[in-house]
Amino acid sequence: SDYSLLILPGDGIGPEVMAEVRKVIGWFQTNRGMRFDVSEDLVGGAAYDKHGKPLADETMAKAQQVDAVLLGAVGGPKYDNLDFSLKPERGLLRLRKEMDLYANLRPAQCFDALADFSSLKRNIVAGLDILIVRELTSGVYFGEPRGIHDDNNNPENEGGRVGINTQRYTSGEIRRVARAAFELAKKRGNKVCSMEKANVMESGILWREEVQWVHDNEFPDVELSHMYADNGAMQLVRNPRQFDVIVTDNLFGDILSDAAAMLTGSLGMLPSASLGAPMDNGRPKALYEPVHGSAPDIAGQGKANPIACILSFAMALRYSFNEGQAADDLEKAVEKVLADGVRTADLMGPEGGTPVSTSEMGDKITEALSRA
């Protein structure tokens, strides 16, 4: 069958790392007979240069129709002084908002060859493979009321102001992200740990009840546990391999996923995905992107590590195209290349060595696919 894919390389190193994903796509087309219907368009500063805004309406419409969008990165010094509404980041935010991507997936995977890059000891992280599912469209970052107000008639309050945010979740918002987490767990280790603070927060009590409800009614065969998010932070650092899928709200997920990222090392290695509601063909709306930005400091020099973007494509294979075997093979090819000692500059340890270029890393990965 045909898989439709919209590629948005963006700015800075975005086009450089995306060129390597193109090689990988070509490899799967030639060697596995997969048929990708690939289109390419502009986002971020590149779109601003051509259209005067960071995402053209036609590009937005296209993104709504394809099985998956793969984005490189946006932004750069050239655009830093633009009006807020024209900034490159707004292109990305528009995609996330209009596609209603409520489940943000951040894997933390530690390849053995890079275990010494972790902030933790090798024996705690080697072989780590967990997935944090963060609710992305609701919670305290969006809840009303919010604002900074005068609090002048309160003589006890030095400074006389109050800042307010509201943590607010509906049962529907919790159920849909819980469903996403259980579905993902079925394609992995079949285990979900839900994190909240039901001991001190009403929204936490609701979160726990609704996740349990989805489990009992729809996914009784997936193992479910609940954990307070503060304990979860401790457990992530103490023994992260106890987890498979972690599902949590927007705020806790923001913090826990950044902490988990450092279990695995370089920014150049970290993929992500954001999923929305299923479309008519049953596939979820989906945006895949590396966690890193446009890296203007190394752009145009062939130094960027393409692995984060390549692993983002592996996630697309697994979660949008249902090609789990191909995703495994691609991840194994990356692992092999790293085990062979092939390194881009960002992965050079203190022992030094000669780094490969962006393009050489892409070539090595497709070669490793062929050797498998």
Residues that bind ligand NAI (CB under 6 A): 13, 17, 73-76, 89, 92, 267-268, 289, 292-298, 304-305, 308, 346
Q: Which is nearer to ligand NAI, 318 or 343 (CB)?
A: 343
Neighbours of 98 (CB within 10 A): 15
Q: How far is the CB of 269 from ligand NAI (least distance, A)?
A: 8
Catalytic site residue from 141, 328, 332, 363 = 141
Distance CA 313, CA 82 (A): 31
Q: Which is nearer to ligand NAI, 79 or 182 (CB)?
A: 79
Catalytic site residue from 37, 49, 230, 340 = 230
Return the one option of ligand NAI, Mg ion, none that residue 258 interacts with (CB less than 5 to 8 A, by type): Mg ion
Distance CA 356, CA 343 (A): 6
Return the one option of Mg ion, ligand NAI, none that residue 54 interacts with (CB less than 5 to 8 A, by type): none
Piece in contact with Mg ion (CB under 5 A), picked from 48-56, 232-240, 251-259, 304-312? 251-259
Long-range contacts of 150-157 (CB under 8 A, 24+ apart): none
141 is an active site residue? yes
Q: How far is the CB of 324 from ligand NAI (least distance, A)?
A: 25
Q: Are 267 and 297 in contact (CB under 8 A)?
A: no
Catalytic site residue from 244, 249, 254, 346 = 254
197 is an active site residue? yes
Work out whether 258 is an interface residue with Mg ion (CB under 5 A).
yes
**Side chain identity at residue 127, one-letter code:** G
Q: Which residues contact 251 (CB under 8 A, 6 or more apart)?
A: 139, 140, 141, 167
Long-range contacts of 197-200 (CB under 8 A, 24+ apart): 197/228, 197/229, 197/230, 197/252, 198/226, 198/228, 199/228
Q: Are 343 and 354 in contact (CB under 8 A)?
A: no
Q: Is 88 annotated as a binding residue?
A: yes
2 is an active site residue? no
Distance CA 101, CA 120 (A): 32
Q: Which is nearer to ligand NAI, 216 or 258 (CB)?
A: 258
Return the one option of Mg ion, ligand NAI, none that residue 254 interacts with (CB less than 5 to 8 A, by type): Mg ion
Distance CA 198, CA 29 (A): 48
Indicate which residues carry an active-site annotation.
141, 197, 230, 254, 258
